[in-house]
Amino acid sequence: MKKFMMFVTVSLVLELGLSTLHAQMPSDKPTVLRLDPALDELIAPDARLELAKTGFGFTEGTTWMPQGKNNGYLVFSDMAANVIYKLTMDGQASVYLEHAGYTGYDVWNHGMDQTNGKAQDDPLFRKFNIYGSNGTALDRQGRLVIATWGGRSVDRLEKDKKRVTLADKVDGLRFNGTNDLVVKKDGAVYFTDGFGGLRGRDKDPDKGIDYTGLFMVKDGKVSAVIKNLQGANGLSLSPDEKYLYANGARLVRRYVIQPDDSVDVPNMQVLTDMTADKLPGITDGMKVDAKGNIYESCCGGIWIISPDGKHLGTIFTPELVANLDFGDPDYKTLYIAARTSIYKIRVKTPGIPGR
Assess contact for 136 and 146: CB atoms under 8 A. yes
Q: Is the pLDDT of residue 75 over 60?
A: yes
What average pLDDT does the structure give for the chain? 92
In tens, the pLDDT along 233-244 reads: 999 999 999 999
* Residue 20 confidence (pLDDT): 36
Across 269-297, average pLDDT:
98
Closest CA to 230 of 250, 256, 258: 250
Contacts of 6 (CB under 8 A, 6+ apart): none
Assess contact for 16 and 281: CB atoms under 8 A. no
* Residue 174 confidence (pLDDT): 98
Q: Is the pLDDT of residue 116 over 60?
A: yes
Q: Helices (H), strands (E): how many in the chain?
A: 1, 29
Closest CA to 235 of 59, 78, 61: 61
Distances (CA, A) of 34 to 39, 41, 251, 303: 7, 11, 21, 10
What is the distance between the alpha carbons of residues 271 and 305, in angstroms, rounded to a whole number? 9
Assess contact for 355 and 72: CB atoms under 8 A. no
* Residue 25 confidence (pLDDT): 44
* Residue 146 confidence (pLDDT): 98
In tens, the pLDDT along 186-237 reads: 999 999 999 999 999 999 999 999 999 999 999 999 999 999 999 999 999 9
Distances (CA, A) of 174 to 133, 139, 151: 16, 23, 10
What is the distance between the alpha carbons of residues 153 and 179, in angstroms, rounded to a whole number? 9
In tens, the pLDDT along 34-46 reads: 999 999 999 999 9
Residue 24: burial class (beta carbons within 10 Å; 0-12, 13-18, 19+): buried
* Residue 2 confidence (pLDDT): 40
| DSSP 8-state code for residue 258 | P
* Residue 17 confidence (pLDDT): 41
Q: Is the pLDDT of residue 29 over 70?
A: no
DSSP3 helix / strand / coil % (the chain, rounded to 5): 10, 40, 50
Beta bridge partners of 170: 173
Across 303-312, average pLDDT:
98
What is the distance between the alpha carbons of residues 7 and 62, in angstroms, rounded to a whole number? 34
Q: Is the pLDDT of residue 5 over 90?
A: no
* Residue 31 confidence (pLDDT): 82
Assess contact for 203 and 256: CB atoms under 8 A. no
Assess contact for 114 and 58: CB atoms under 8 A. yes
* Residue 354 confidence (pLDDT): 81
What is the distance between the alpha carbons of residues 341 and 69, in angstroms, rounded to a whole number? 27
